[in-house]
Amino acid sequence: MSPVPPGRRPTEAGSPVSVSFCPGPPLLLPAVAGRAAAETAGLRAACAEAVEALLAPGPEVVLVVGGGGSGRYGAGDAGDLRGFGVDLTVPFDGPVHPGGRHTPLALTVGAWLLDEAGYAGTRLGVGPDELAGALAVLPGPVGVLAMGDGSARRTLKAPGYLDEAAGPFDAAVAAALAAGDAAALAALDPVEGERLLAAGVPTWRAVGAALAGREVGARLHASEAPFGVGYLVADWLVA
């Protein structure tokens, strides 16, 4: 779980984009994990480090990117964990408004991570298809919290049972994250990702496509599969 030693270089010109890649399992929250919270403590710590790096440049807006919804999410919206046996509501950005939209799970967990980091700035939730458009119009500096899991077929007891291709697939994603290789993320095979139940592929592809060709300083914090699902944590600083 030891992070790769820092080797990043901040940009001297232009508005940087800071990115944090985190998984979005509800078990990341101690309230959901219950007695199993100790098993996810290391993963939470890795996510906290990555989100801290995301916020270090002082982004004016954090884009939370994840699948499972449509349109954009912002002030007044909220998600909850009632489907996982916990009566917990997580506001996405500020107080919940009557009639506010219900955020998908990936954005709900992302909002919780930002809350844990003490981020009180503006948040905008988008799906993978909307990331490039949002980045194009937002003033810098901007942060991107990219939420997504690796393959859910890593072990016999995994949600999707074992597939021998799952481990190498997640390893390739981890290598791209560690190297800051946006082009490799953009080139991930969506069909293979769907077959391997790798829910993060659309988000990773979108981030890679939006940032391809730019200089990236990268750190990989975690690549593991404690419950048979690949969980990858990294942060990038993109010039």
Residue 168 domain-assigned? yes
Check residue 7 and give its pLDDT.
40
Q: Which of 132, 136, 119 is nearest to 62 (CA)?
A: 119
CA–chain centroid gap for 164, Å, is 25
Residue 3 domain-assigned? no
Q: Which amino acid is at 52?
A: E
Residue 215 domain-assigned? yes
- Both tokens assigned to 116: 């844990």
* Cβ pair 109, 21 in contact under 8 A: no
Q: From CA 94, how far away is CA 168, in angstroms rounded?
A: 40
Half-sphere exposure at residue 191, Cβ-oriented, CA atoms within 13 angstroms: 0
Check residue 35 and give its pLDDT.
81
Residue 171 domain-assigned? yes
State if pTM tops 0.95: no
Q: From CA 74, how far away is CA 59, in angstroms rounded?
A: 16
- Total number of domains in the chain: 1
Check residue 1 and give its pLDDT.
37
Q: Which residues are CB-contacts of 2 (< 8 A; sequence separation ≥ 6)?
A: none
Residue 202 domain-assigned? yes
* Cβ pair 32, 100 in contact under 8 A: no
pLDDT band at 92 (very low <50, low <70, confident <90, very high): very high
Q: From CA 126, how far away is CA 47, in angstroms rounded?
A: 20
Q: Which domain holds residue 211?
A: 17-238
* Cβ pair 93, 122 in contact under 8 A: yes
- CATH code, domain with 25: 3.40.830.10
Check residue 34 and give its pLDDT.
86
Residue 161 domain-assigned? yes
Check residue 38 and give its pLDDT.
85
Residue 2 domain-assigned? no
Q: Which residues are CB-contacts of 66 (< 8 A; sequence separation ≥ 6)?
A: 24, 104, 105, 106, 107, 110, 125, 127, 128, 146, 147, 148, 203
Residue 6 domain-assigned? no
pLDDT per position as a tens digit, 143-182: 999 999 999 999 999 999 999 999 999 999 999 999 999 9
Mean pLDDT of 15-44: 90
Q: Which of 237, 229, 234 is nearest to 177 (CA)?
A: 234
